[in-house]
Amino acid sequence: MSLEEKLRELEELRRRSLEGGGPEKIKRQRERGKLLARERLDLLLDPGSFQELDWLVTTRGAPLGEVPRIPGDGVVAGFGRINGRPVFVFSQDFTVAGGSIGEMHAEKIVRTIKYALKSGVPVIGIWDSGGARIQEGVAALHGVGRIFNAIIQASGVIPQISLVLGSSAGGAAYAPALMDFTIVVDKITYMFVTGPDVVREVTGEEVTFEQLGGARVHSQLSGVAHFRAANEEEAFRITRRLLSYLPDNNEAPLPIIDTGDPVDRRDPDLDSMVPDDPHKPYDMKQVLERIFDHGSLLEVQPEWGTSIITAFARLGGIPVCVVASQPLVLSGAIDINASCKAARFVRFCDAFNLPVITFVDVPGYMPGLDQEHGGIIRHGAKMLYAYAEATVPKLTVVVRKAYGGAYISMGSKSLGADIVYAWPTAEIAVLGAEAAVRILYRKRLRAAENPEEERKRLIDEYRRTFLNPFRAAELGLVDDVVKPSETRYKLYTALEVLLKKREPRLPKKHGNIPL
């Protein structure tokens, strides 16, 4: 065969690869409101930067039925750039056998993750698949397992981002969940281990794809998703922005930029943001937006575990992780979902050397039968473990309430916080004044001529004695009591010094977090 003939053959194979599953399948993909695999990569990556790898790979054959032998085997993989930074990517092609994962399809994804790992750069996966390829039997299951293993081995070494832009079904649904961040899109994302047909057959329940595993379900109820987008283009914008906060790998420098926001900027409005009435709520997001660089706050899982805010932000251009109580939700009390959300976020940030800054206004753990039976002890312990395990710079600001065990879990000195600041409004104690007086002075109140008047007097006395930051400062548990308007500069100067922090730990294989 001459060179010309070989080149013609190559062109024909390329044409078949670009056509995917053919015009009819492409038409159906568009009718579902979904982009094609390569179109997605074109929108995600810097223009002209994508270089495809392994596009000639095809299935070895299927013992249980025919599978189209299309070059690429239903997944487009390679490398490119986002804002000039190299990344490895793969994008499943639903027009080829429903994006199903066969042996070679899986091998391409595994290789892509391994390329990223060896190169020390992030990997981004676009998932659009019906799950393991039934026709290939156990070989397909082995391939899915290899994907899981590759993601797990890369965890904590390189950032891994999933975009679920279609189905992610069966055992394969675990792949996006194993990555660091999962982005979903309204009306096209469906994630579930067992689909509606199986649910109907086993339980008798009638349920739609959207009800079972739609974008809103995983953003608000299950906690699987970290970001929810209205469309694919917004999902790509979120991905590009998220990546801007993350280093290339766990040994790479942080991506520090000049945001143009002066580090010594003071905001007088912060001095009056916390209400005098300790029972009155306020929006912690407004506090955070005034302290960190303008427009830099990117909230993670904003619809789940909402009594705690987790977010990326910048302080003097330095990317940081923010964990903050949200008094607008449950008065800032920590529940099961908030515990899991904060713990996983802190562990991610620690793995990639991103400093953790915590803002505290927490009255305690959420009480109730459902919380206790649901395992608030076990889930709350995850948060304690994550903070104590983290060796990155840890700064804490006690804004108002810091009561009981919940105070300990929110980046306290006892869990290894490097520097703790308190606002003058801070109330650090085992219990709030009302609860403490009710327990401590039960007999005195029963014997009092005017129990209500005596109760008020004792509450005022308890507040003056204990519910202020000065007692904690006397014990060295608070390093400084600062004016709210000066918080930004205080945090920045401390962060600048702590960026090179080193904290050796005892040698061990790994700890045993209470999962």
Beta carbons of 303 and 220 less than 8 angstroms apart: yes
Predicted local confidence at residue 65, as pLDDT? 66
pTM across the whole model = 0.94
Query: Which pair of tokens denotes residue 485?
Result: 């308007």
Strand partners, 319: 314
CATH number belonging to domain 268-430+471-498: 3.90.226.10
Q: Do strands 427-429 and 480-481 pair parallel, antiparallel, or not at all (unpaired)?
A: unpaired
230: left (phi over 0), alpha (psi -120 to 50) or beta: alpha
Per-position DSSP letters for 478-501, written without gaps between them: SSEE--GGGHHHHHHHHHHHHTT-
Helices (H), 158-309: 174-178, 196-203, 209-213, 215-220, 232-244, 284-291
Angstrom distance (rounded) from CA 75 to CA 146: 16
Helix (H, G, I), strand (E, B) or coil at 280: coil
Of 379 and 453, the one with more pLDDT: 379
Question: Which parts of 311-389 fold into alpha helices (H)?
Answer: 336-351, 369-374, 376-389
> Whose structure tokens read 């104690």?
429
Q: What is the token pair recorded at 379? A: 């889930």
Instruction: Give the lowest-confidence range in 123-127, 252-256, 350-354, 460-464.
Output: 460-464
The pLDDT tens digits of the residues spanning 170-208 come to 878 999 999 999 999 999 999 999 888 888 888 888 999
Question: Catalytic amino acids?
Answer: 170-171, 405-406
Whole-number Å distance between alpha carbons of 252 and 271? 38
Q: What is the mean pLDDT of the chain?
A: 93
- Residue from 250, 259, 416 nearest 349 by CA: 250
CA angle 146, 224, 310 (to 5 degrees): 120
Q: For residues 288-292, give the mean pLDDT.
A: 98
Closest CA to 89 of 21, 165, 17: 165
pLDDT greater at residue 486 or residue 471? 486
- 399/423 Cα distance (integer angstroms): 5
What CATH number does the domain located at 29-244 have?
3.90.226.10
Residue 105 clears pLDDT 90, i.e. is over it: yes
What's the full length of the chain, in residues? 515
Average pLDDT over every residue of 267-281: 91
Question: Which H helix or E strand runs over 314?
Answer: strand 308-315
Same fold across 29-244 and 268-430+471-498: yes
Structure tokens at 410: 């929110």
pLDDT in tens, 32-69: 999 999 999 999 999 999 999 998 888 887 666 677 78
- pLDDT value at residue 393: 98
Which amino acid type is present at position 115?
Answer: Y
> What residue spans define the domains of the chain?
29-244, 268-430+471-498, 433-466
Q: CA 70 to CA 93: how far, in whole Å? A: 11
Q: What is the DSSP string of 447-459?
A: H-SSHHHHHHHHH
Helix (H/G/I), strand (E/B), else coil: 364: coil
**Contact residues for 501 (Cβ-Cβ < 8 A; gap 6+):** 391, 392, 393, 418
Q: Dump pLDDT digits (tens) for 455-469.
A: 888 888 888 777 888
Query: What tokens does 189 get?
Result: 């994302």
The pLDDT > 90 percentage for the chain reads 73
How far apart are alpha carbons 246 and 87 in whole angstroms? 12
In DSSP terms, 394 is beta-bridged to 356
Q: Are 244 and 83 in contact (CB under 8 A)?
A: yes
The pLDDT assigned to 200 comes to 87
pLDDT in tens, 324-339: 999 999 999 999 999 9
SS3 content of the chain, % helix, strand, coil (to 5): 45, 20, 35
Pairing of strands 123-129, 318-325: unpaired
Q: What are the pLDDT digits (tens) for 379-431? A: 999 999 999 999 999 999 999 999 989 999 999 999 999 999 999 999 888 88
- E strands, 83-217, in order: 85-92, 123-129, 160-169, 181-185, 190-192
Q: In terms of DSSP bridges, do strands 308-315 and 298-300 run parallel, antiparallel, or are they unpaired?
A: antiparallel
* Structure confidence at residue 170 (pLDDT): 82
Q: Using CA atoms, how far apart are residues 136 and 60, in angstroms rounded to an integer?
A: 9
Separation in Å, CA 309 to CA 287, 289, 302: 12, 12, 7
In sequence order, the β-bridge partners of residue 513 are none
Alpha-carbon span 55 to 61, nearest angstrom:
17
Q: Given this model, what pLDDT does residue 63 score?
A: 65
Half-sphere exposure of 443 (CA within 13 A, CB side): 0
Grade residue 302 by pLDDT with cuts at 50, 70 and 90. Answer: very high
CB of 290 within 8 A of CB of 270?
Answer: yes
> 416 with 394: CB under 8 angstroms?
yes
Report the C-alpha dihedral over residues 282, 314, 294, 300, rounded to 10 degrees.
-50
How far apart are alpha carbons 67 and 70 in whole angstroms? Answer: 9
pLDDT for the residue 261: 97
Give tens-digit pLDDT for 395-408.
999 999 999 899 99
Beta bridge pairs of residue 399: none
Contact 223, 302 (CB under 8 A): no
